[in-house]
Chain A
């Protein structure tokens, strides 16, 4: 009992009190009253903060951007770890397989700050790695300002998101594939099945439950706070590309921390959490109906 008590207290302070603090999204929190007084005595304003968010075109555009990036990440980023895991499983040399696997996890452990630093080096106008190559092979007449052109930003952001996560995300599929009974492959070989037939009829159906569960998770967390995306946007943004780098996370940060509009920013965050719960239950329900697999 004594052993669990510290963590119980910690959870109450650092998890449950902030959850209670969500109440201020229906108030006009006054920071000058101090946290406790401000929480209790601030004026109730009902849904005013939410109403205001929906009349702010910057919020609306940050919401669309968040959805846009999430869909891109999901559509392009979701299948890649699966394909990678399947192809990795087809490698015959065990040591090479281990090596590729180990290398592919590395970006997961590197900070986003480093990754964004590399994005700047790669796409810089003066002496950038990519512009250097393009000019060398005469593929472009003059250096392209990738990071100051709105249309290049989403592909860059999504590309590096995948670069950083595909290896780590593939672990769970690799584990699922390892658990497949090898006698199934042996039987298929005896029956004369080719490589692709084995992948299609044995590997894929065997990992289907894992795929579905992770897909539900991905859809459910589409609009949830995405710290990696926040860091990329926060570090990449400049006046030229502002329109495509403003996401809900950066908007909340600006409103809440920079401008100290605590109640308003909390309301934006709460709205987002509600949408996330709806998405998760929706995805779960759809999957239960269509495939019989579900989280809850």
Chain B
């Protein structure tokens, strides 16, 4: 009896506090998303009467009807989806080819190439030289390829893949080589199919990167190539201007807050929805990467 009550005092108190702390963590992590979603479904003029914390006061879909009728957001969504799909598939193939190549000890200059890739992880020319190269040198400004080509390769991802390729047994390759297959056929027909877990992981990293990036759209995109994130940036910035103006003028423009909330939900929606199903791939990727590094 004595034993048990002492345990209750020490470890159980700790357990209870830990449990409360973790619930608090869950709350502060998820509530922002919940709040934004709930507010976006509230009637815009009614939202001006004060924030809604738990449930829409006046349920309405008018925000979504308003935002989705804007041709610009549909165009932005098209650009974002295209760059996410094309960008991640091409980057994965491009990076995998390199990683597979340097996983073979017989490659001439292998150590030199690995060194070259390592250097890029720690040193770069920085914002301006890269900008001059892409905008003035390669004249990619306003071209959709500006989202794809500069993001084709990432040394960190290459090293994650490298450690995976090293684990593939070389026996299948040898037998294929005896049958007369060359490196390229072996890479596409043999290596890629058995590497789907790592390819999926890297593709997801790239996909999230493409989905979320807006700075390259700001630098090189122009009006025609506006992405979803950039559309949201504009909606945030205009809402601020309007909110300031609104305090002097009328209540009409303040519903730009509702427009902003709705745009936020639309831009984050795919990631939040896909996340629970995909998160184990992300974690696997960082684990392989961190064990290496």
The interface residues of chain A lying within 8 Å CB-to-CB of B268 are 110-111, 114
Say yes or no: A113 contacts B232, CB within 8 Å: yes
Closest to A101 in B: B283
The interface residues of chain B lying within 8 Å CB-to-CB of A18 are 124-126, 129-130, 133
Interface string of A110-143 (1 = CB under 8 A from B): 1111101110111010111100100000000000
Interface string of A164-175 (1 = CB under 8 A from B): 000110011001
Say yes or no: A2 contacts B184, CB within 8 Å: yes
CB distance from A154 to the nearest CB of B (A): 19
CB distance from A58 to the nearest CB of B (A): 17
Q: Is B102 an interface residue (CB 8 A)?
A: yes
Contact of A11 among B36, B117, B257 (CB under 8 A): B117
Chain B interface residue count, Cβ-Cβ cutoff 8 angstroms: 93
CB distance from B62 to the nearest CB of A (A): 17
CB distance from B44 to the nearest CB of A (A): 11
Q: Is A75 an interface residue (CB 8 A)?
A: no
Say yes or no: B124 contacts A15, CB within 8 Å: yes
Q: How would you classify the secondary structure of chain B's contact residues: helix, strand, loop or mixed?
A: helix
Contact of B29 among A11, A107, A172 (CB under 8 A): A107
Contact of B28 among A121, A163, A269 (CB under 8 A): A163
Interface string of A251-287 (1 = CB under 8 A from B): 0110011000010011001100100000000000000
Say yes or no: A90 contacts B126, CB within 8 Å: no
The interface residues of chain A lying within 8 Å CB-to-CB of B132 are 21, 29, 31, 35, 262
Say yes or no: A225 contacts B264, CB within 8 Å: no
Q: Is B286 an interface residue (CB 8 A)?
A: yes
Say yes or no: A110 contacts B126, CB within 8 Å: no
Contact of B25 among A34, A104, A227 (CB under 8 A): A104
Query: What are 6 residue pairs bridging A and B, where the CB atoms are less than 8 Å apart in the complex?
Result: A1-B107, A3-B184, A14-B153, A21-B125, A109-B275, A163-B28
Beyond A3-B184, A113-B233: 13 further Cβ-contacts under 8 Å?
A7-B153, A17-B125, A17-B137, A35-B136, A90-B14, A102-B276, A114-B232, A122-B32, A124-B243, A129-B53, A171-B286, A194-B10, A266-B128
